[in-house]
């Protein structure tokens, strides 16, 4: 019988079971005295978001703006604290085997759904199976690849009942992993692995998650006034939440604003308490008391659809494009918001080697850096193979930042690669995501922000059978390296890092399947009367669980 070691959440980090990202320049709010006993302070705020909610079905959520809302509405076995470390969520106790492959979770007795029903281990088994089962599979099913038989089930090679997790009882949930996974408790804190009640989901049918009434909530807030297409909605305190006493805000009104200046005007007139800003607005407003900035753990990149017979199926066309963009000029002169040039698939501050404490990005160094001489060598080869004139459509979001970046890339490529014509196609965020899923694009400006400290979440974007591999990338050596890194070398950091570095070289240098452009920064204007707003390294743009209004 495998020896077990009991892990109390208060000592998880000390025991080394969790490895979370570090080293970011995230700013945290200074603590202030609680206002719970103050009178006359209304715990109600108004905020903005640049894009609407796409779906509230946690198994299907993909975009960051929706995901930020999801983190407020749902909670998994663990959740992130103010330092983005996993802490107790719906599970109050965890036992982990000595080999790091068996997890036993004990659920809280007081964990309830927003309708008052008790949350059970069966709710986790149901939602995880729904995420993984090929019949209902969500795009993030790969998160369960390391669960026993998870990958085989995702690829329809085994049945869902052969999966390595199950509800042992109403309050006990057991997970068996193929290999040790130091980031596993961090992965559990993201909304994709939140529970779902089987009875409610089946009764709602196709309407599940499409309106604020067609779903049950188990996080610090519930959603109201959202009909599936609304540009506005409201977060209200969830009175059934097990730790509702920690949630001070009673109401958060949210509105979608694509135009940044509109949000700034509403902030200045005190109609909004939190707005996102970028570019020149950062320079103009950075000295305000309510200005907050931090580096995202993100990769904003160009992605190629390598459809057979298209110009982008040609590796020399892709290589020329990947080397012809001055990323430093983009971040310093166009974005001017704290974003940094990125020359790697994985951004800085995601994951460090637990033995050497070296960040993966520093270890792997840089790939496909700006080099006009080499770009034109590849471009000369490309023109001999595809013709002297090439026309490509660039898909981008119709946000302020999407417009600025896509126009800059258009200018750079047409200036540096003679004979290349770029036309920009701007679409609303949800439409853009749908176009990418349907592979209805040639070149797209996209982004990936970490949901957890899991390195594989970035490499999975180009795995052969990944739901996110929209551009038809397929390289057997890349697949083997990535598979080895997350399986046989998962508990050997040096070997794992080496595998991932070789995979990055194939992806970015040899195949030029992606062009990393910049690691973004998030900048906000926040009403100084609000304290304890959290800005996690991953999981969501911001988190209001512990936020409160401290002054009238």
- pLDDT of res. 46: 98
| Burial bucket for residue 372 (CB in 10 Å: 0-12, 13-18, 19+) | middle
3-class SS of residue 397 = strand
Point out the least confidently predicted range of 37-51, 229-243, 423-437, 515-529.
Answer: 37-51
131: Cβ–Cβ under 8 A, 6 or more apart, which residues?
59, 137, 138, 140, 141, 143, 144, 192, 193
238: Cβ–Cβ under 8 A, 6 or more apart, which residues?
114, 217, 218, 219, 220, 221, 222, 244, 247
Task: Over range 481-510, report the average pLDDT.
Answer: 94
Point out the least confidently predicted range of 1-15, 199-213, 457-471, 536-550.
Answer: 1-15
Neighbours of 207 (CB within 10 A): 12
DSSP classification of residue 246: G
Q: Roughly what angle, to the nearest 10 degrees, separates helices 372-386 and 400-416? A: 80
**Could you give phi then psi for residue 123, rounded to 5 degrees?**
-65, -35
Q: How far is CA 36 from CA 27, 33, 222, in A?
A: 25, 9, 21
536: Cβ–Cβ under 8 A, 6 or more apart, which residues?
80, 84, 542, 543
**Could you give phi then psi for residue 164, rounded to 5 degrees?**
-90, 35
- Strand-strand pairing, 232-237 and 221-224: antiparallel
Q: Answer whether residue 225 shows pLDDT above 70.
A: yes
Q: What percent of the chain has pLDDT over 90?
A: 78
Q: Closest Cα partner for 223 from 256, 251, 248, 204?
A: 251
- Among 37-46, 308-317, 428-437, which range has the highest average pLDDT? 308-317
Structure tokens at 45: 């705020």
- pLDDT of res. 258: 84
Q: Answer whether residue 8 shows pLDDT above 70.
A: no
Q: How far is CA 152 from the centre of its chain?
A: 24
Phi-psi region of 95 (alpha: psi -120 to 50; beta: other; left: phi over 0): beta
Point out the least confidently predicted range of 5-14, 75-84, 530-539.
Answer: 5-14
Q: Answer whether residue 28 shows pLDDT above 50.
A: no
Q: Answer whether residue 223 shows pLDDT above 90.
A: yes
- Between CA 350 and CA 537 the distance in angstroms is 8
Contact 96, 5 (CB under 8 A): yes
- Between CA 254 and CA 56 the distance in angstroms is 15
- Between CA 157 and CA 397 the distance in angstroms is 37
3-class SS of residue 121 = helix
Contact 349, 24 (CB under 8 A): yes
Structure tokens at 65: 């703006």
Structure tokens at 425: 């196609």
Contact 35, 548 (CB under 8 A): yes
- Which has the higher per-residue pLDDT, 430 or 326? 326
- Between CA 30 and CA 317 the distance in angstroms is 50
The pTM assigned to this predicted structure is 0.81
Q: Answer whether residue 230 shows pLDDT above 50.
A: yes
Task: Over range 256-269, report the average pLDDT.
Answer: 93
Contact 519, 385 (CB under 8 A): no
Q: Closest Cα partner for 446 from 347, 325, 304?
A: 304
- pLDDT of res. 22: 32
Helix, strand, coil % over all residues of the chain, rounded to 5? 30, 20, 45
The per-residue pLDDT of the chain, averaged, comes to: 90
E strand or H helix that includes residue 403? helix 400-416
- pLDDT of res. 39: 53
3-class SS of residue 9 = helix
Neighbours of 229 (CB within 10 A): 10
Binned at pLDDT 50, 70 and 90, residue 552 comes out as: low
- Between CA 140 and CA 472 the distance in angstroms is 18
Instruction: Write down the residue that tokens 């949800």 correspond to.
Output: 430
Angle, CA of 250, 10 and 118, to the nearest 5°: 50
Q: Answer whether residue 2 shows pLDDT above 50.
A: no
Point out the least confidently predicted range of 109-113, 133-137, 178-182, 389-393.
Answer: 178-182
Q: Answer whether residue 1 shows pLDDT above 80.
A: no
Q: How far is CA 418 from the centre of its chain?
A: 36
- Which has the higher per-residue pLDDT, 65 or 4? 65
Neighbours of 248 (CB within 10 A): 22
Residues 59-95 pLDDT 10s: 998 888 899 999 999 999 999 999 899 998 999 999 9
Burial 481-512 (b: 16+ CB within 10 A, else e): bbbbbbbebbbebeebbbbbbbbbbbbbeebb
**Could you give phi then psi for residue 125, rounded to 5 degrees?**
-60, -40
- Between CA 174 and CA 164 the distance in angstroms is 8
Q: Answer whether residue 3 shows pLDDT above 80.
A: no
Task: Over range 92-107, report the average pLDDT.
Answer: 95
- Between CA 546 and CA 241 the distance in angstroms is 13
């Amino acid at each position: 019988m495998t020896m077990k070691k009991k892990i109390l959440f208060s000592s998880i980090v000390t025991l080394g079971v969790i490895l979370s990202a570090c080293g970011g320049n995230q700013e945290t709010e200074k603590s202030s005295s609680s206002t719970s006993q103050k009178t006359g302070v209304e715990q109600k705020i108004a905020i903005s978001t640049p894009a609407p909610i796409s779906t509230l079905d946690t198994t299907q959520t993909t975009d960051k703006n929706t995901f930020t809302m999801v983190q407020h509405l749902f909670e998994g076995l663990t959740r992130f604290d103010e330092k983005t470390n996993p802490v107790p969520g719906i599970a109050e106790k965890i036992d982990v085997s000595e080999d790091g492959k068996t997890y036993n979770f004990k659920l809280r007795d007081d964990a309830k759904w927003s309708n008052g029903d008790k949350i059970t281990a069966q709710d986790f088994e149901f939602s995880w199976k729904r995420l993984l089962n090929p019949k209902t599979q969500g795009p993030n099913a790969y998160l369960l690849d390391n669960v026993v038989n998870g990958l085989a089930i995702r690829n329809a090679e085994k049945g869902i009942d052969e999966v390595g997790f199950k509800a042992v009882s109403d309050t006990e949930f057991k997970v068996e992993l193929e290999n040790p996974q130091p980031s596993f408790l961090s992965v559990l804190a993201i909304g994709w692995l939140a529970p779902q009640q089987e009875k409610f989901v089946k009764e709602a049918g196709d309407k599940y998650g499409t309106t604020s009434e067609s779903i049950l909530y188990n996080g610090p807030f519930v959603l109201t006034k959202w009909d599936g297409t609304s540009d506005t909605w409201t977060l209200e305190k969830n009175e059934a939440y097990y730790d509702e006493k920690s949630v001070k805000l009673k109401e958060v009104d949210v509105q979608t604003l694509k135009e940044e200046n509109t949000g700034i005007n509403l902030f200045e007139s005190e109609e909004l308490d939190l707005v996102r800003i970028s570019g020149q607005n950062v320079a103009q407003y950075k000295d305000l008391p309510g200005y907050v900035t931090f580096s995202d753990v993100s990769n904003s990149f160009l992605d190629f659809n390598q459809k057979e017979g298209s110009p982008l199926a040609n590796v020399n066309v892709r290589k020329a494009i990947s080397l012809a963009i001055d990323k430093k000029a983009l971040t310093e002169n166009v974005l001017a918001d704290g974003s940094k040039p990125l020359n790697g698939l994985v951004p800085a501050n995601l994951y460090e080697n637990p033995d050497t404490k070296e960040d993966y990005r520093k270890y792997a160094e840089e790939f496909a850096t700006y080099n006009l001489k080499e770009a034109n060598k590849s471009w000369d080869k490309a023109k001999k193979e595809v013709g002297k004139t090439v026309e490509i459509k660039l898909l981008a979001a119709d946000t302020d930042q999407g417009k600025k970046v896509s126009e800059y890339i258009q200018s750079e490529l047409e200036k540096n690669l003679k004979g290349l014509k770029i036309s920009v196609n701007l679409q609303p965020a949800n439409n853009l995501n749908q176009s990418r899923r349907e592979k209805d694009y040639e070149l797209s400006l996209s982004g990936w922000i970490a949901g957890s400290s899991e390195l594989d979440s970035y490499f999975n974007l180009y795995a052969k059978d990944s739901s996110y591999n929209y551009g038809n990338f397929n390289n057997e050596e890349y697949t083997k390296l990535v598979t080895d890194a997350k399986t046989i070398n998962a508990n050997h950091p040096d070997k794992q890092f080496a595998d991932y570095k070789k995979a990055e070289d194939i992806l970015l240098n040899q195949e030029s399947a992606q062009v990393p452009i910049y690691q973004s920064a998030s900048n906000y204007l926040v009403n100084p009367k609000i304290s304890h707003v959290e800005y996690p390294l991953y999981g969501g743009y911001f988190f209001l669980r512990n936020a409160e209004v401290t002054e009238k």
